[in-house]
């Protein structure tokens, strides 16, 4: 399978999938321009390493101490704010000569169960076009803008797809998109030149994993239907084939925390809309129980295993059971299907 995304959502997904299969390629967004990644991007004229680092660690088969070291963040002196893993990737990039080669080498050094690939081989910026005709450039500016987003694009474009990504797409039996920030983690990967054409030519299921909460600056006021419409606005009305969404109440303490940031649960509002006829929807309690409304990696992977992977030869975790609350429909949910609150923008 091939998974597209970035941020916390992608690493969460991968951490669960590794229990079922090693046949996964993670294609990771490389447009981040904030925090440690943004500083290294500017200072060393390289691609941002943060999201890639998280995904490599999620699939690494090394001593836990090495994984912990890669995620260690300095809190003092000149390295304040930097993760050791980001610095390691920067050094390795200089040694081997390119960011892409350094990531391929890290897949080997960390004995990654699967493969992690950067979506682009050169620096690109994300530009958001707002409904009022203005633009925001860079993930940081996009997330801070209160203006509704109409579409996003990669600049400079077009951005070609690497040989490694294309090979993975051609061989894939399943495509996964998200969870993660809609406009800054999921959509950017879909804009790679020729990627969607190759995914369509493959014909395997294309599954969008919806966020649990809205994200300030990106998806304020968005229901699940708005997320799907945004995807279709960028890649066509035949996308996706299936949506997986959290269904279940969140603790009051979690809701209060997100309300303070103007974030609310993503409404499950696909009911009765003819435009989504034929879209398969799978609901489940996917909340991880923490103070952040994030997906539970094991539960999410169990749902994917049950619906798409069960019976394949590389699964070694058949003893795990899918969440008991999972319910599915093969088109638009009926009006009798609960459409209550759902959980976070990973």
pLDDT of 271: 84
Quickly state the pLDDT bin for 328 (edges 50, 70, 90): low
Answer whether residue 181 shows pLDDT above 90. yes
pLDDT of residue 113: 95
Identify the pLDDT of residue 313: 56
Q: Please say if the pLDDT value at position 157 is more than 60.
A: yes
Q: What is the 3-state secondary structure (H, E, C) of 56-87?
A: HHHHCCCCHHHHHHHCCECCCHHHCCCEHHHH
Three-class SS state of 176: strand
Tens digit of each residue's pLDDT (9 = 90 or more) over 20-63: 999 999 999 999 988 999 999 999 999 999 999 999 999 999 99
CA 117 to each of CA 5, 91, 137, 138, 312: distance values in angstroms, whole numbers, following the listed order: 11, 18, 24, 21, 24
What is the mean pLDDT of the segment spanning 158-173? 96
pLDDT (tens digit per residue) in 231-268: 999 999 999 999 999 999 999 999 999 999 999 999 99
pLDDT at residue 272, rounded to an integer: 81
pLDDT (0 to 100) of residue 86: 97
- pLDDT tens digits, residue range 63-86? 999 999 999 999 999 999 999 999
pLDDT score recorded for residue 342: 35
Structure token pair of residue 300 = 């999410």
- Flag whether the pTM goes above 0.85: yes
Tell me the domains of the chain and their CATH numbers. Answer: 1-9+159-346 (3.40.50.10680), 30-118 (no CATH)
SS3 42: helix
List, in sequence order, every residue forming a beta bridge with 225; answer none if it has no partner. none
């Amino acid at each position: 399978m091939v998974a597209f995304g970035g941020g916390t959502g992608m690493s969460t997904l991968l951490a669960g999938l590794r229990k079922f299969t090693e046949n996964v390629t993670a294609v990771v967004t490389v447009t981040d321009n904030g925090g440690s990644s943004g500083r290294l991007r500017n200072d060393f004229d390289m691609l941002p390493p943060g999201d890639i680092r998280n995904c490599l660690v999620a699939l690494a088969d090394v001593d836990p101490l090495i994984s912990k070291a890669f995620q260690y963040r300095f809190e003092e002196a000149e390295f304040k704010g930097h993760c050791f893993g980001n610095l390691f990737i920067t050094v390795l990039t200089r040694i081997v000569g390119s960011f892409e080669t350094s990531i391929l080498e890290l897949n080997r050094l960390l004995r990654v169960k699967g493969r992690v690939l950067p979506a682009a081989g050169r620096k690109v910026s994300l530009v958001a076009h707002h409904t009022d005709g203005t633009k925001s450039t860079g993930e940081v500016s996009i997330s801070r803008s209160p203006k509704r987003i109409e579409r996003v694009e990669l600049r400079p474009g077009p951005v070609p797809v690497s040989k490694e990504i294309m090979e993975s797409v051609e061989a894939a039996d399943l495509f996964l998109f998200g969870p993660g920030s809609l406009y800054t983690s999921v959509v950017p990967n879909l804009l790679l030149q020729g990627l969607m054409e190759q995914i369509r030519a493959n014909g395997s299921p294309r599954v969008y994993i919806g966020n649990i909460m809205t994200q300030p600056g990106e998806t304020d006021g968005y229901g699940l239907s708005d997320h799907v419409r945004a995807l279709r606005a960028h890649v066509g009305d035949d996308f996706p084939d299936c949506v997986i969404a959290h269904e279940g109440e969140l603790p009051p303490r979690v809701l209060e925390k997100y309300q303070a940031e103007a974030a609310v649960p993503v409404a499950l509002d696909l009911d009765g809309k003819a435009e989504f006829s034929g879209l398969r929807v799978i609901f489940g309690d996917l909340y991880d129980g923490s103070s952040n409304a994030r997906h539970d990696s094991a539960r999410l992977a169990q749902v994917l295993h049950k619906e798409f992977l069960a019976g394949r030869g590389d699964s070694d975790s058949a003893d795990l059971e899918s969440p008991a609350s999972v319910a599915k429909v093969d088109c638009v949910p009926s009006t009798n299907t609960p459409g209550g609150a759902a959980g976070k923008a990973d």
